[in-house]
């Protein structure tokens, strides 16, 4: 299996600190003030935008509970047993983002083929083939 590295810079405005998160190590470390990637002036804009801007999930009841959706710029991990709805949730998020908000999406699958995914999603009323033809969606088989 391929080792995927995601590095994110996390802003903590309450402590005026930045952290570097490495998903391979599953830990965050503080970045010293002189080596921070985001300057203080830009930091306040980023924090305000991240805290105030929400991205709807496409699931109305969940969006109401979350105060309008997920926080833009955050990393969200969906975890659960087989059949819990992780794929459906991700598909709804990508589909509604493309259809309602014009935001393109990419789905990466390690187990399901493109044909299987499209067939299952079409049964739920989500036609990803149309989105793919319009250039709003891309399926990647990893």
Domains by residue range for the chain, with CATH: 1-52 (no CATH), 54-142 (3.40.50.300)
Apex 85 CA angle, 80 and 89, nearest 5: 115
The more confident residue out of 87 and 26 is: 87
Max mean pLDDT among 20-29, 39-48, 100-109, 128-137 falls in 128-137
In the predicted structure, residue 93 carries a pLDDT above the cut 50: yes
Average pLDDT of span 83-111: 92
In the predicted structure, residue 112 carries a pLDDT above the cut 70: yes
Q: Which of 26-40, 57-71, 115-129 has the lowest mean pLDDT?
A: 26-40
| pLDDT above 90: percentage of residues in the chain | 37
Average pLDDT of span 30-56: 59
Tokens of 133: 């033809």
Q: Supply the pLDDT for residue 142.
A: 86
Q: Nearest 10 degrees: CA dihedral of 39, 43, 45, 48?
A: 180
Q: Supply the pLDDT for residue 139.
A: 96
User: What is the spatial distance between Cα 86 and Cα 80, in angstroms, rounded to a whole number?
Assistant: 7
Q: What is the pTM of this model?
A: 0.63
Instruction: List, for residues 114-127, the tens digit of each pLDDT value.
Output: 999 999 999 999 99
Q: Supply the pLDDT for residue 77.
A: 86
């Amino acid at each position: 299996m391929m080792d995927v590295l995601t590095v994110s810079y996390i802003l903590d405005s309450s402590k005026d600190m930045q952290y570097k998160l490495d998903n391979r190590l599953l830990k965050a470390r503080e970045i010293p003030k002189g080596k921070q990637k985001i300057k203080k002036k830009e930091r306040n804009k980023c924090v305000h935008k991240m805290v105030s801007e929400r991205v709807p999930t496409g699931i109305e009841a969940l969006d109401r509970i979350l105060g309008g959706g997920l926080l833009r710029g955050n990393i969200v991990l969906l975890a659960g047993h087989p059949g819990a709805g992780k794929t459906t949730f991700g598909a709804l998020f990508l589909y509604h983002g493309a259809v309602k908000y014009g935001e393109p999406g990419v789905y990466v699958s390690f187990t399901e083929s493109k044909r299987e995914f499209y067939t299952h999603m079409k049964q739920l009323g989500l036609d990803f083939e149309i989105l793919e033809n319009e250039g709003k969606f891309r399926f990647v088989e990893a």
